[in-house]
Amino acid sequence: MNLHCRHGSLLHTRTVLSRTQPLTHTHTCPLRSPQGLEDQLLGEVVRKERPDLEEAKDRLVLSISADKKQLGELEDKILRLLKESSGNILDDEQLINTLNHSKTTSSVISARVQEAEVTEKSINEAREHYRPAATRGSILYFVIADLSLISPMYQFSLSYFAKMFSYCIDKSDKADDVPTRLGLLSDFVTRFIYNNVSRGLFEEHKLLYRWGWLGGLYGCTRVAGVVRSMPYMCMSGYVAPCGSQG
Contacts of 80 (CB under 8 A, 6+ apart): none
Tell me, yes or no, whether 138 and 110 share the same domain. no
Residue 152 has pLDDT above 70, yes or no: yes
**What type of residue sits at position 98?**
T
**pLDDT tens, residue by residue, 29-40:** 433 578 899 999
Same-domain check for residues 95 and 152: no
Same domain, 176 and 217: yes
Cα–Cα distance for residue pair 167/171, rounded to 1 Å? 6
One domain for residues 175 and 104:
no
Total domains, the chain: 2
Distance of CA 113 to the CA centre of its chain: 24
Tell me the C-alpha distance between 150 and 62, whole Å. 44
Mean pLDDT throughout 131-143?
93
Q: Which domain holds residue 99?
A: 53-128
The predicted model scores a pTM of 0.65
Q: Is residue 246 assigned to a domain?
A: no
Residue 191: per-residue pLDDT: 94
CATH code assigned at 96: 1.10.287
Give 147's DSSP letter. Answer: G
Are 39 and 159 members of one domain?
yes
**Is the same domain home to 139 and 30?**
yes
Q: Is residue 215 located within the same domain as residue 139?
A: yes
Q: What is the pLDDT of residues 52-76, one digit of tens each?
A: 988 888 888 888 888 888 888 888 8
Measured at the CA of 202, the angle between CA 196 and CA 207, to 5 degrees, comes to 85
Residue 162 CB coordination number (10 Å): 19
1 pLDDT exceeds 80? Answer: no
Q: What is the pLDDT of residue 64?
A: 84
Q: How far apart are CA 134 and CA 23, in angstroms?
A: 14
